Amino acid sequence: MRALRTAATGMSAQQLNVEVISNNIANMNTVGFKRQRAEFQDMLYQNVERMGAQSSAQGTVVPTGIQIGSGVRAGGVYRITEQGAPTQTGNRYDMAIDGRGYFQVLMPSGETAFTRAGNFAVNGEGQLVTDDGYVVQPEISIPQDARDVIVSADGQVQVVTAGQTEPQIVGQLELSIFFNEGGLEAIGDNLFLQTAASGEPATGTPGDVGYGTLMQGYTEASNVDAVSEITALIVAQRAYEMNSKVISTADEMLSVTAQVKS
């Protein structure tokens, strides 16, 4: 009974769909989180009667044929990179990107990771770091006697120190962009790594053509929409139930067949 296997693939696909939706909902309040969407593809078809095949000696052809599908499979889980809403925090080290781009972060392994989460702080050495203590690149060091820190829209970091009235420049933040942002590999902690699918990063100054600008004292909220996710969850649940109903129906049909006596 092919229907049993076909419906089973549908249940498996909807289980994956629910897992993706649940991860989106769980990260509704995660800074810089980008929601994901499961995409599906139909599987191989059995050609019982091929369309276009000759059906008579006079040259007539079969107009539609008979193809029977074998179910559905996951084609991919796509990351939707549209920008989340800016949220004011009042923290002078917090920064949101308005437009395209990722902050660069130096991992303990020496690799460069990328993030949209700009909830930064300073460590004991005055370096600008993520909430896990990873140093933001290019490295920015804030003097210990700094009374105020100013980050311009183009990423220039200035400080006002004790005894001075004019701010002095202590560094320049940069952003990286990718041809295919959906190809970045998420590794947790709001961090991404480049892959062959994402392409090499192009690094530039905020505000340059193709790059976003910075907003000091803000963070980027998750782009998860609660109403859309709950609606998608209900649709996935109903699809799962309908596939389970197909399995029950196919089982009943097999039971009837087994009871037929010769």
For position 226, what pLDDT does the model report?
A: 94
Give yes or no: residues 42 and 154 share one domain. no
Give yes or no: residues 70 and 15 share one domain. yes
Give yes or no: residues 154 and 28 share one domain. no
Give yes or no: residues 252 and 134 share one domain. no
Residue-wise pLDDT tens digits, 33-42? 999 999 999 9
Give yes or no: residues 91 and 158 share one domain. yes
Which is more confident, 261 or 180?
180
Give yes or no: residues 201 and 233 share one domain. no
Give yes or no: residues 39 and 143 share one domain. no
Give yes or no: residues 144 and 169 share one domain. yes
Give yes or no: residues 235 and 132 share one domain. no
For position 105, what pLDDT does the model report?
A: 97
Confidence at 258, pLDDT banded by 50, 70, 90: confident
Residue-wise pLDDT tens digits, 60-116? 888 888 888 889 999 999 999 999 999 999 899 999 999 999 999 999 999 999 999
**Site of tokens 């079969």:** 62
Q: Look up the domain containing 12 and give its range.
A: 2-81+229-258
For position 241, what pLDDT does the model report?
A: 96
Give yes or no: residues 132 and 182 share one domain. yes
For position 183, what pLDDT does the model report?
A: 93
**How many structural domains is the chain composed of?**
2
Give yes or no: residues 60 and 115 share one domain. no
Give yes or no: residues 123 and 66 share one domain. no
Q: What gap in Å lies between CA 254 and CA 17, rounded to an integer?
A: 29
User: Is residue 210 predicted with pLDDT exceeding 70?
Assistant: yes
User: Is residue 46 predicted with pLDDT exceeding 60?
Assistant: yes
User: Is residue 159 predicted with pLDDT exceeding 90?
Assistant: yes
